[in-house]
Amino acid sequence: ELKVEQNPLFLSMQEGKNYTIYCNYSTTSDRLYWYRQDPGKSLESLFVLLSNGAVKQEGRLMASLDTKARLSTLHITAAVHDLSATYFCAVDIKGGSEKLVFGKGTKLTVNP
Amino acid sequence: KAGVTQTPRYLIKTRGQQVTLSCSPISGHRSVSWYQQTPGQGLQFLFEYFSETQRNKGNFPGRFSGRQFSNSRSEMNVSTLELGDSALYLCASSLEAGGWETQYFGPGTRLLVL
C-alpha cells in the first residue's frame, strides 16, 4: 500500500524567511504533484515532477524530486502572506489501484 | 476553456437519506475521478471513470457508487448516509486515464449529514 507522508503538518513562519516542506512516499513512483488549497476552496495544481532530479520553480516556490530517496521537497523563499494555504503532495502510480494518493497536507501560515 | 464544474456546491442531508452529486469535466477530458476530503482522513480517492467504465476504486463501502455518461459527465451517489459521510467531495478531470495526466479539480460539493 502506498503511503505518502508530509512534514511538517503545520508551519508558521515570518514573512521574508525560507523554509522547506518534505514529502516522502513508500513505493516507487516517477510522478509527483504539488497542490495548493486555500480555505474553503478546491485544489490548485502547482507543480508536476516527472523524473528523478526534476526541479520546477514558480515565483517563491521551488519543488524537487529525488525518486531514489522517494522524497520531494517544496522550498519557500522569502515567504509572503499570500503564500498562506495548505500544500499537498500527491503521488501517482501508473497502473495502481488509486489515481492519486495524497499526503495529509502542510498548513502554512505566513505572519507579517 | 471552462474548468471542472460541480453541482450542487452545498448540500445538507439527514442520516439514512441518499445523495447524488454531479461533475462536468473540462471539455475534451474523458477521465473523471472523485475524492473525499475530511479533516480526519484527508484526501481519499473514491473512484475513477473513463469512457463510462469504472477503472479504479478506492477503499470505500458499496454505499458509494458512481457512473459516467457518454458526454463524460459523471455522478456519484451515496446511499444510506452516515454522519461520517460529511465531507468535501472533489471531482477531478484529465484528458486520458491510465496514463499520467495532470488532474484538474473542481470547486467541490460540501455535504453535511445531520
Is residue B100 within 8 A of residue B114, CB to CB? The reply is no
Cβ contact B104–A45 (<8 Å): yes
Cis status, amide bond into B8, omega within 30 of 0:
yes
Top-confidence residue, A67 or A1: A67
A28 pLDDT band (50/70/90 cuts)?
confident
Q: What mean pLDDT, rounded, does chain A reach?
A: 91
Provide the pLDDT for residue A95. Answer: 61
- In this prediction, residue A89 has a pLDDT band, given cuts at 50, 70 and 90, of very high
Q: Which of A42, A96, A101 sits opposite B105 (nearest CB)?
A: A42
Please name the member of B58, B99, B100 whose beta carbon is closest to the beta carbon of A98: B58
| Chain B residues 60-89 within an 8 A CB cutoff of chain A | none
Phi-psi region of B13 (alpha: psi -120 to 50; beta: other; left: phi over 0): beta
CA distance A76 to chain B (A): 23
pLDDT per residue as tens, chain B (114 positions):
679 999 999 999 999 999 999 999 999 999 999 999 999 899 999 999 999 999 888 889 999 999 999 999 999 999 999 999 999 999 999 887 655 577 899 999 999 999
CB atoms within 10 A of CB B60: 16
> Which pLDDT score, from 0 to 100, does residue B95 have?
85
pLDDT at res. A83: 96
B103:A100 CB<8 A: yes
In this prediction, residues A4-31 reach a mean pLDDT of: 92
pLDDT digits (tens, 9 = 90+) for B33-44: 999 999 989 999
Look-up of cell digits 456546491: B9
pLDDT exceeds cutoff 90 at A29: no
